[in-house]
Amino acid sequence: MLDIATAYNKYLFLGNEFLTWLWFLIETEQDITKILGSGEPITLEIGNSLSLENNLGDKSKEKITIKGDQAGLEEGTTALRKGAVVTDINLLCKIGEEEYKFSIKGESFNLTGLKTPAIDTSGSEDEIEGMVIEKTFLLLKVTGVIDTLFLKYIERRISENWKNEEFQEIKRWIHVEQ
Amino acid sequence: MGLISSTHSMSRYYIEGAFEGGTMEEVRTGLIENAMPKIESEYEEISAGWTPFESPYNPDFEKFSFVFGTYFLFSLRIDKKSIPAKLVQKHMALEIEKKKEESGRDFISKNEKSEIKEFVLDVLMHKIPSIPSIYDVLWSYEEKQLIIFSTQKAANELFETLFLKSFNHKPIRIFPYTKVEKLGKFTDTQKDKILNLTPLKY
């Protein structure tokens, strides 16, 4: 295994590419349930923020953040065309009837602002264990979806077909269909 | 923002290693030996230790459980003293005036100034109470996974150090590379391909 700090910096691009791929899947209405091979229906939607970053080559970076509940994402796709990558995205994930909302950072996979379906926290102290187990179940469920999606992305990224098929579709989405 | 709150911020770890003896006892020992001291240290700028999830201000692991179903759940408490710069400035000015009066001079040397600063910081550090921050830690021992409800670099670094010291298990942050390495089931050939990937140009 590589040194952790080196590996973090060298492969952080995979996290940012993954978020860009998620955006592509959402915009082109692909079947997330099928990709995940899940027994429960799973959908993703872009939430209320999206951040992109473009290395300008001279150690300076261009950062674009789009915020708002119904914000248009055209500036984001324009930035993609100029070579930017998605660094942070707010997502709404529906697993069956449950709704999860969170922001995920590409380089670290840190989750912020994560809202899971509500659990009943009005119980007595004796019921704390039940609350903890229920909450943990929800948290592990949504992190499991993210993990599986990322590993699916990596599987596709190293597949023989990637360059000629899915990568071309992503490029078409960025350059033609916007 | 901890486990039982409406909004969470969290980072995840893969936990390497396994206990040779009874897991529960080893975890209990690690928590007790590295629990937050009940009596606050007057001079330490930062102190960190484990506390029970249900009782962050009374770190008593005999009284409160850390086992919830098949998970271990406890909290990291970090007590930090923070002296406002303006307070240091005020006390420095007062001490400098006092020194000038005592010496009968209308100036003080650079060395005297740094001695005064050291003295002022020492006095204020002693007087100012620590501000506690609590970060819940959820450890799924069976799955070798852990969530800490923090995305703050300093808190996460303190967590990593204290966790290794307490349990002799190395917590490895989950990020793109470690997710492939620790959570994926890739063959060596596939891993080689992944390691050779370079950023896409759309």
Residues 25-54 of A with CB under 8 A from B: none
Q: State residue B106's pLDDT score.
A: 86
Mean pLDDT for chain B?
Answer: 93
Average pLDDT over residues B43-49: 89
The answer, yes or no, to whether residue A125 has pLDDT greater than 70, is no
SS3 A75: helix
The answer, yes or no, to whether residue A177 has pLDDT greater than 70, is no
CA nearest neighbour of A117 among B129, B6, B154: B6
What single DSSP character describes residue B4?
T
- A to B CB pairs, distance under 8 Å: 129
- Distance in Å from the first CA to the final CA of chain B: 38
Chain B residues near residue A163 by CB distance under 8 angstroms: none
CA distance B46 to chain A (A): 25
Q: CA geometry: angle at B132 spanning B125 and A130, to 5°?
A: 165
The answer, yes or no, to whether residue A44 has pLDDT greater than 80, is yes
What single DSSP character describes residue A106?
T
| Cα dihedral A147, B193, B170, B71 in deg (nearest 10) | 20
Lowest mean pLDDT among A76-85, A139-148, B5-14, B134-143: A76-85
Share of chain A above pLDDT 70, in %: 97
Chain B residues near residue A127 by CB distance under 8 angstroms: none
Provide the number of structural domains found in chain A: 1
> CA-CA distance, A9 to B2, in Å (whole number)?
29
pLDDT tens-digit series, residues A149-174: 999 999 999 999 999 999 999 999 99
Q: State residue A76's pLDDT score.
A: 87
CA distance B59 to chain A (A): 17
Q: State residue B4's pLDDT score.
A: 86
Q: How confident is the model at residue B1 (pLDDT cuts 50, 70, 90)?
A: low
Among partner residues B3, B151, B197, which is closest to A135 by beta-carbon distance?
B3
pLDDT tens-digit series, residues B48-79: 999 999 999 999 999 999 999 999 999 999 99
| Cα dihedral A67, A70, A71, A74 in deg (nearest 10) | 140
The answer, yes or no, to whether residue B173 has pLDDT greater than 80, is yes
Q: pTM to 2 decimals? A: 0.90
Instruction: Confirm if B12 and A139 have CB atoms less than 8 A apart.
Output: no
Look at the block and give the residue holding tokens 């704390």.
Answer: A128
Residue B162's Cβ-side half-sphere holds a number of Cα atoms within 13 Å equal to 23
Q: Which residues share a beta bridge with B15?
A: B171
Look at the block and give the residue holding tokens 């969470």.
Answer: B8
The answer, yes or no, to whether residue A48 has pLDDT greater than 60, is yes
CA nearest neighbour of A112 among A91, A83, A130: A91
> CA-CA distance, B75 to B51, in Å (whole number)?
5
The answer, yes or no, to whether residue B144 has pLDDT greater than 90, is yes
pLDDT tens-digit series, residues B93-129: 999 999 999 888 888 889 999 999 999 998 998 889 8
What single DSSP character describes residue B182?
I
Q: State residue A86's pLDDT score.
A: 95
The answer, yes or no, to whether residue A15 has pLDDT greater than 90, is yes
Q: Does residue A7 belong to the interface with chain B, where contact is any CB pair within 8 Å? A: yes
